[in-house]
Amino acid sequence: IRRSHSIQKLGPLAIIAKDSKVLTPKVSQKTGRLELVEKGLSQASIFPGFCEKHEALFGSFENSKNMAGVEAISLQIYRSICREVVRLKHQIEFGKKMISEYENFRNKKLKRIMGKKLGSNWMKINNVKINEINLTSDTLINFIRGKYIKLENIVEELEQEHLREIEECLKINDGNSEGTLNPVSITIDEQIPVALSGMGSFCIAEDNNSKEVLVVLLVLPDAKGTTIVIHGKSSDTKYFHGYLSRLKNSF
């Protein structure tokens, strides 16, 4: 399915839409700044995430205007994680492509600079040709690769831990085990004009080590109000409950 919604089209998206359009953040390629651009409901929050079998999992609540019940919220959490996996993998592949293009550009530029420094006459007299230039270390590429190694580690954690846990709870992929999910969820009787499906993180210090805790973040307005959900894998429950306890109020 090329266009799976990560947020219900006829639910939260339709509720906050004006003239069947919503505003979504996008980084401008010209300015590098985050801008809000209009998108129609059919294009908002979509990603190429599921086959037909898995897309059918969401049929039970996709056409509902309200996010009711633990199972519906669990399915919403599931596809939010799936979208992050797809998005991060695309970002990693794009980054690798950009590194390769930069290396080719850099090496051609260095060959020209070296040829100009040596001088064409000197190179001809001494029968010198510059065939290839290799750099053992490039601080820019080392920095970028470090960033993408971190992203690859996040994808691995999402796939091997977060997704596996929720798939077992929802009996996805013919799993036999069953568990329970315990997301932090609050509902307020005010309709917030924002629909959010994504992930956030925070760092904790434990035993002199730093640990990054990944959490799913959802904001889901409906006809009656807004549901806000925070969810992490079960082994991190104590961390995000501890994080929330440091805030001044539950909202």
pLDDT for the residue numbered 180: 65
pLDDT for the residue numbered 75: 87
pLDDT for the residue numbered 206: 81
pLDDT for the residue numbered 157: 94
pLDDT for the residue numbered 214: 94
The whole-model pTM stands at: 0.82
Distance CA 58, CA 37 (A): 27
pLDDT for the residue numbered 177: 44
162 near 154, Cβ under 8 Å? no
Q: What are the residue ranges in the chain where pLDDT is below 50? A: 175-177
What pLDDT digit, counting tens, does each position of 146-182 carry?
888 999 999 999 999 999 998 888 876 654 445 567 7
pLDDT for the residue numbered 179: 54
Distance CA 53, CA 40 (A): 26
160 near 151, Cβ under 8 Å? no
∠ CA 239-243-248, rounded to 5°: 155
